């Protein structure tokens, strides 16, 4: 069962919300480090099993599919894929304080 790794988020697969997708941490070490910082946990995160839910990503963080856009069709969940440089920026309580202190460069 996937649980969102962002501190304070209560999203999990048990709720079975069809609009929420859970994303794996990126392979790129620099980007993965940013994700870990934004999760704002005191304990280490096991990035092999941890997930971040789609509530924390802007629509622009996802790859576009012009066919579905032009035909005004709903995008299948399997095609809802993050851009290679996507960073969670939405609904993160500690985000503002980290930007102020300069800890995170997104």
| pTM for the predicted model, two decimal places | 0.77
CB 4 within 8 A of CB 11: yes
Please write the tens of the pLDDT for every residue from 20-66. 899 999 999 999 999 999 998 888 999 999 999 999 999 999 999 99
Task: Give the per-residue SS3 of the chain.
Answer: CCEECCCCCCCEHHHCCCCCCEEECCCCHHHHHHHHHHHCCCCCCCCCCCEEEHHHCCHHHECCCHHHHHCCCCCCHHHCCECCCCCCCCCCCCHHHHHHHCCCCC
31 phi, psi to nearest 5 deg: -70, -40
């Amino acid at each position: 069962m996937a649980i969102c790794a962002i501190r304070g988020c209560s999203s999990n697969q048990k709720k079975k919300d069809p609009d929420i997708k859970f994303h794996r941490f990126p392979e790129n070490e620099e980007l993965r480090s940013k994700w870990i910082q934004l999760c704002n946990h005191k304990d280490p995160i096991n990035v092999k099993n941890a997930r971040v839910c789609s509530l924390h990503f802007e629509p622009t963080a996802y790859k576009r599919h012009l066919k579905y856009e032009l035909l005004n069709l709903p995008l299948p969940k399997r095609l809802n894929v993050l851009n290679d440089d996507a960073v969670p920026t939405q609904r993160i309580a500690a985000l503002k304080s980290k930007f102020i202190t300069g800890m995170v460069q997104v």
